Amino acid sequence: LARFVYRDQRIRDYFDLQIWVCVSTKFNEVRLTLEILEHVCEDKQEYENISNFNVLQEILMRNIRNKRFLLVLDDMWEDNDRNGWTKLLAPLKSNQVNGCMVLATTRSTSVAKMIGTMDEVRLSGLDEKEFWLFFKGCAFGNENYEGDPSLQSIGKHIAKTLK
């Protein structure tokens, strides 16, 4: 869903900068700042040999000043370092342009609560029947597949596990 929103033409037209960063399980504020800078700096030489977090944050602040941005923090897992997240997002929050947005995706309720400035949007899976049709379409190339019963049994088990 986040990828769909990110690629929508209305989003592209509205934001000056679009930034997609895969956070994953290892929170590292320097790495994440460098990845954000890859999206906002025209000249990589401006930051590529810098490892000082504060200097990187200053470069980030300079490059987003007066720009409306969408930052997607995808697949967040870390909820133990609230202070690190606050430091990482500080230059983004100091931007004076209205309409900037940070969108985070996570499977962890604790992460959503930690970063939440608004209510989380919970996505539930398809119901079991609908997902089975979808799964058959992907696995067998046809949602009406009624072939090998043992394959169907295995497929139903997999589909139930995936939800």
Count other C-beta atoms under 10 Å from residue 77's C-beta.
15
Boundaries of domain holding 35? 1-115
The domain that holds 110 is classified in CATH as: 3.40.50.300
Into how many domains does the chain fold? 2
Residue 123 lies in a domain: no
Mean pLDDT, rounded, of the chain: 86
Residue 121 lies in a domain: no
- Give the separation between CA 114 and CA 112, rounded to whole angstroms: 6
Residue 122 lies in a domain: no
Q: Which pLDDT belongs to residue 22?
A: 92
Count other C-beta atoms under 10 Å from residue 159's C-beta.
19
- Give the separation between CA 44 and CA 66, rounded to whole angstroms: 20
Is residue 111 domain-shared with residue 139, that is, in the same domain?
no
Backbone angles phi, psi at 115, to 5 degrees: -95, -10
pLDDT in tens, 68-108: 999 999 998 877 777 888 888 888 887 777 888 888 888 88
pLDDT in tens, 32-77: 999 999 999 988 989 889 999 999 999 999 999 889 999 999 998 8
Say if CB 83 and CB 32 are below 8 A apart: no
Residue 120 lies in a domain: no
AA letter at 140? F
Q: Which whole number is the average pLDDT over 126-146?
A: 82
Q: Above 70 in pLDDT, residue 4? A: yes
Q: Above 80 in pLDDT, residue 115? A: no
Is residue 15 domain-shared with residue 95, that is, in the same domain?
yes
Token representation of residue 62: 């300079």
